[in-house]
């Protein structure tokens, strides 16, 4: 899946809104100064800690042993990465400003005033938000970003280049001009240099320099005046201070601390509910049709695991939907386990037993179950038909449709709508704008595409209508239980009717949805001809025969029709049913394993009364034919033992006919890969975890020189190592050699990459390699 799977938070998206709700609500209190993040965490209230865990559930899974472990985990690169991905654009801008403001400071903390200047807006609320999610802590000098933030954001936060102080001395031909002098210098710049400045100002700060020509000269001019610094061969980097000055002292073109407005149109909520109900009803009908179609004719599973393009087109044609809508329908059926790859020798997509159960439930319950399946499905149906990885077209129901991040998009979109009063219909463009603001790190195009698709799918589902969220959609967005959803769906969906109208052209029309017993009966005894608000059903000899095959008698069929119909049963229909019944069962088919035939009826009569043959269970089906359930060989033996002299016949022509049962897949054989589900962290669980953390005795991590074997959790260890890298400090590590012996080394880690720690030990400058997984623990010197 090339689509920025990592660039978008997915699994914990549902916890986001709590994060959003808590943000900005708490007015910034005076923060007691802390020495470290662990210290800061220790000073938080239980509620604040619980909020932190809820906002970053990865910290709570598995439960950390104590607050130090929690702090260590909160500063790992992965966790910080996840936390950053959940920030909206405003917070992200604040983080960048914070980082830029704090980097030149020896304390590592920034002054709030600097942050405000860089941001061009009041950062208080954003900083509070960042503090709540543990991305910064308040040192005595001011807000201090967690170290890993700098790692994750990379060397160019906000598209700014290296600081003047970092420029290698051999290139630092001259110090950059002061902000006051800068306009003058820039005004003198040759056009080529001016062009370079213009293109690098708003980032990315590194530009390629051709080996010769005016651009080369322009770059040289910039380097000479200290505006740019060479950055590798053939590249220049705009010095950070210069860029900031050119940007007018701010990092961002436009401070976007506040969320963009949604431009709302007002629609009548009652109409929204009606239209949504109709859409939901249509959806149930379509799924019904899909089930029927694929029961009769299960489409093959391609070798890629997907549904063939032709089968999808056939589905679209038969259900009368646009192909993308049909693909979504099939995906939804798969997500709701109504169909599955049956895993047979020639695999096909087949309705599951669950489909029959689903079909027998109330309309509301049916809708609730598919709606929840949609809500939780990690599959992005709109990708069907697009170019996937490797250039192949993405097939419906295939593996390439999987894109778990789409869950987050669904949650974002529906929650944005849910935050508005009922009957507000924001334009898709403004919803997209808002969602991309919420997720600044996600790929904008991918996210826009997904948002538009989600809005469309929500319409098909009945979660939205006319652009506004319906009551059903609201239920989904707030995570209502399935029982609750089912109940509200039952109220929204057009009520089912308890009668049909029978007509002489042998149609029955249900002037509304048909459910329950009558629905099942009508489906059995007739074929659906047209769907929509009403259902047009046609009774034919075949359909009536089907009912008779299922054990109904003509009188029962007619009585049920008479009772269910508002109009009298037309004479031709009455005649049809009786005519079919007259012919039904005229020929009988049964199974027997052996037969005895004789032209002499008396002989057969003797056999029937012979006690010795009673265990052969003989039955006379015609004057000259007996049948038995015994094996022919056994029967012959029995007869011989009884003193008869039977002759055995070859019997090719005994046909065993079973009533055909609809083809159903056994779930045990299903090949589908189970979706990993992450248990959601509930508020109660978070609170109890906080209590446990408080109660846990803290293991000493710093201070005392190490005695005995060094040990610690991998998170603690790697956090200590990273801290040592960034602070250029030495520390003790316990290291297991290839023989399993653990030795203690005093090292100064230089960098950590891909599970390897490069460190120098003692006075030597040579880097040595330590494998991270062999480091048993670490302790500061």
Partner 1 sequence: MTGGPLIVQSDKTLLLEVDHAGAEAARRDIAPFAELERAPEHIHTYRVTPLGLWNARAAGHDAEQVIDALLRHSRYAVPQALLVDVAETMARYGRLTIEKDPAHGLVLRTTDRPVLEEVLRHRRIEPLLGERIDPDTILVHPSERGHLKQQLLKIGWPAEDLAGYVDGEAHPITLREEGWTMRPYQRQAVEGFWHGGSGVVVLPCGAGKTIVGAGAMAAAGATTLILVTNTVAARQWKDELLRRTSLSEKEIGEYSGTRKEIRPVTIATYQVLSVRRRGVYPHLELLDARDWGLVVYDEVHLLPAPIFRMTADLQARRRLGLTATLVREDGREGDVFSLIGPKRFDAPWKDIEAQGWIAPADCVEVRVTLGQGERMAYAVAEADDRYRLASCTPGKERVVQDLVARHTGEPTLVIGQYLDQLATLAERLEAPLITGETSVAERQRLFDAFRSGEVGLLVVSKVANFSIDLPEASVAIQVSGTFGSRQEEAQRLGRVLRPKGDGRTAHFYTIVSRDTVDADYAAHRQRFLAEQGYAYRIVDADDLSQESGPDGRR
Interface with partner 1 (CB under 8 A): 271, 274-275, 277-279, 282, 285, 320, 459, 465-466, 494, 501, 503-507, 509, 511-512, 530-534, 536, 567, 570-572, 575-576, 583
C-alpha radius of gyration, the chain, whole number: 37
C-beta of 272 vs 639, nearer to partner 1: 272
- State the nearest-atom distance from the C-beta of 339 to partner 1, in Å: 21
C-beta of 220 vs 501, nearer to partner 1: 501
Which runs of E-coded beta strand occur in 571-649? Answer: 594-597, 619-622, 625-628
- State the nearest-atom distance from the C-beta of 518 to partner 1, in Å: 17
Write out the two tokens for 274: 């009606």
Q: CB of 703 within 8 A of CB of 692?
A: no
- State the nearest-atom distance from the C-beta of 465 to partner 1, in Å: 7
C-beta of 162 vs 284, nearer to partner 1: 284
C-beta of 163 vs 538, nearer to partner 1: 538
- Beta bridge partners, 356, equal none
- State the nearest-atom distance from the C-beta of 355 to partner 1, in Å: 21
User: Could you give the 3-state DSSP secondary structure of residue 252?
Assistant: coil
- State the nearest-atom distance from the C-beta of 511 to partner 1, in Å: 6
C-beta of 153 vs 489, nearer to partner 1: 489
Measured between alpha carbons, how far is 406 from 10 in angstroms, rounded to an integer? 7
Q: What sign has the CA pseudo-torsion 287, 293, 296, 301?
A: negative
C-beta of 239 vs 573, nearer to partner 1: 573
- State the nearest-atom distance from the C-beta of 16 to partner 1, in Å: 30
Q: Phi/psi zone of residue 343: left (φ > 0), alpha (ψ -120 to 50 degrees), beta?
A: left
Which runs of E-coded beta strand occur in 287-389? Answer: 339-341, 349-351
Residue the block writes with tokens 């595409």 = 449
- State the nearest-atom distance from the C-beta of 330 to partner 1, in Å: 18
- State the nearest-atom distance from the C-beta of 349 to partner 1, in Å: 23
C-beta of 151 vs 282, nearer to partner 1: 282
C-beta of 204 vs 511, nearer to partner 1: 511
Give 49's contacts (C-beta < 8 A, 6+ positions apart). 41, 690, 693
- State the nearest-atom distance from the C-beta of 458 to partner 1, in Å: 13
C-beta of 389 vs 583, nearer to partner 1: 583
How many other CB atoms are there within 10 angstroms of residue 673's CB atom? 9
- Beta bridge partners, 760, equal 748, 767
29 to each of 25, 94, 113, 461, how far by Cα in Å?
11, 18, 17, 45
- State the nearest-atom distance from the C-beta of 541 to partner 1, in Å: 8
Residue the block writes with tokens 């102080």 = 165
β-strands 619-622, 535-538: how paired?
unpaired
How many other CB atoms are there within 10 angstroms of residue 412's CB atom? 26
User: Could you give the 3-state DSSP secondary structure of residue 713?
Assistant: coil
Sheet containing 775-780: which strands, arranged edge to edge? Answer: 767-771, 756-761, 742-753, 731-736, 775-780
C-beta of 572 vs 667, nearer to partner 1: 572
Write out the two tokens for 98: 């914070």
- State the nearest-atom distance from the C-beta of 572 to partner 1, in Å: 5
Of 431, 410, 433, 409, give the one whose Cα is nearest residue 420: 431
End-to-end CA distance of the chain: 45
Of 723, 729, 735, give the one whose Cα is nearest residue 768: 735
- State the nearest-atom distance from the C-beta of 362 to partner 1, in Å: 18
Measured between alpha carbons, how far is 74 from 146 in angstroms, rounded to an integer? 9
C-beta of 20 vs 289, nearer to partner 1: 289
C-beta of 74 vs 280, nearer to partner 1: 280
């Amino acid at each position: 899946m090339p689509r920025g799977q990592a660039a978008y938070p997915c699994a914990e998206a549902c916890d986001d809104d709590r994060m959003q709700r808590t943000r900005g609500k708490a007015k910034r209190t005076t923060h007691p100064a802390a020495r470290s993040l662990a210290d800061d965490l220790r000073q938080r209230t239980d509620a604040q800690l619980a909020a932190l865990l809820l906002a970053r559930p990865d910290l709570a899974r598995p439960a950390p042993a104590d607050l130090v472990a929690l702090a260590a985990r909160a500063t790992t690169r992965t966790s910080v990465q996840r936390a950053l991905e959940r920030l909206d654009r405003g917070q992200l801008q604040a983080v960048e400003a914070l980082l830029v403001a704090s980097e030149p400071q020896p304390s590592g903390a920034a002054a709030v005033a600097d942050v405000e200047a860089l941001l061009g807006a009041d950062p208080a609320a954003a900083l509070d938000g960042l503090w709540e999610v543990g991305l910064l802590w308040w040192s005595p000098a001011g807000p201090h970003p967690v170290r890993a933030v700098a790692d994750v954001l990379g060397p160019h936060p906000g598209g700014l280049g290296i600081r003047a102080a970092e420029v290698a001395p051999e290139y630092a031909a001259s110090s950059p001009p002061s902000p006051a002098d800068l306009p003058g210098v820039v005004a003198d710049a040759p056009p080529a240099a001016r062009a370079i400045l213009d293109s690098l100002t708003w980032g990315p700060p590194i530009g390629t320099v051709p080996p010769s020509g005016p651009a080369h000269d322009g770059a040289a001019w910039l380097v000479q005046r200290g505006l740019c610094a060479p950055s590798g061969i053939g590249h220049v980097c705009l010095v950070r201070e210069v860029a900031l000055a050119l940007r007018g002292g701010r990092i961002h073109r436009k401070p976007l601390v506040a969320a963009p407005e949604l431009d709302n149109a007002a629609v009548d909520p009652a109409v929204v509910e009606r239209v949504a109900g109709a859409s939901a009803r249509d959806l149930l009908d379509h799924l019904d049709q899909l089930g029927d179609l694929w029961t009769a004719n299960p489409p093959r599973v391609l070798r890629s695991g997907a549904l063939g393009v032709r089968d999808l087109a056939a589905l679209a044609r038969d259900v009368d939907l646009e192909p993308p809508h049909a693909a979504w329908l099939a995906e939804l059926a798969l997500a709701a386990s109504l169909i599955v790859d049956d895993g047979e020798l020639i695999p096909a997509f087949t309705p599951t037993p669950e489909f029959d159960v689903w079909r027998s439930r109330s309309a509301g319950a049916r809708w609730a179950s598919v709606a929840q399946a949609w809500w939780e499905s990690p599959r992005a149906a709109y990708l069907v038909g697009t170019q996937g990885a490797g250039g192949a077209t993405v097939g419906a129901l295939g593996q390439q449709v999987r894109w778990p991040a789409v869950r987050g998009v669904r949650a974002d979109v529906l929650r944005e709508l849910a935050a508005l009063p009922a009957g507000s219909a924001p334009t898709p463009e403004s919803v997209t704008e808002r969602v991309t603001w919420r997720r600044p790190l996600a790929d904008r195009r991918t996210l826009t595409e997904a948002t538009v698709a989600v809005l469309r799918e929500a319409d098909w589902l009945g979660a939205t209508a006319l652009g506004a969220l319906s009551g059903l959609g609201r239920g989904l967005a707030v995570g209502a239980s399935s029982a609750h959803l089912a109940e509200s769906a039952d109220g929204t969906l057009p009520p089912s009717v308890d009668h049909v109208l029978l007509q002489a052209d042998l149609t029955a029309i249900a002037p509304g949805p048909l459910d329950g017993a009558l629905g099942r009966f009508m489906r059995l005894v007739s074929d659906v001809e047209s769907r929509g608000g009403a259902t047009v059903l046609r009774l034919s000899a075949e359909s009536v025969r089907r009912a008779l095959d299922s054990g109904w008698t003509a009188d029962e069929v007619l009585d049920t029709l008479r009772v269910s119909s508002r109009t009298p049963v037309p004479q031709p229909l009455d005649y049809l049913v009786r005519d079919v019944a007259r012919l039904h069962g005229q020929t009988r088919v049964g199974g027997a394993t052996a037969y005895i035939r004789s032209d002499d009826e008396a002989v057969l009569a003797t056999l029937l009364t012979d006690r010795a043959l009673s265990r052969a269970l003989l039955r006379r089906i015609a004057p000259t034919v007996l049948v038995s359930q015994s094996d022919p060989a056994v029967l012959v033996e029995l007869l011989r033992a009884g003193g008869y002299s039977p002759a055995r016949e070859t019997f090719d022509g005994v046909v065993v006919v079973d009533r055909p049962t609809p083809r159903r897949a056994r779930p045990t054989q299903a090949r589908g890969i189970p979706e990993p589900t992450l248990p959601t962290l509930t508020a109660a669980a978070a609170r109890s975890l906080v209590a446990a953390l408080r109660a846990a005795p803290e293991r000493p991590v710093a201070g005392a020189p190490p005695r005995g074997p060094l040990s610690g959790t991998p998170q603690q260890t790697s956090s200590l190592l990273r801290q040592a890298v960034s602070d250029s400090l030495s520390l003790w590590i316990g290291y297991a050699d290839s023989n399993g012996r653990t030795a203690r080394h005093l090292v100064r880690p230089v960098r950590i990459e891909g599970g390897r720690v490069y460190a120098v030990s003692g006075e030597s400058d040579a880097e040595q390699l330590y494998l991270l997984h062999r480091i048993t623990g670490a302790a500061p010197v």
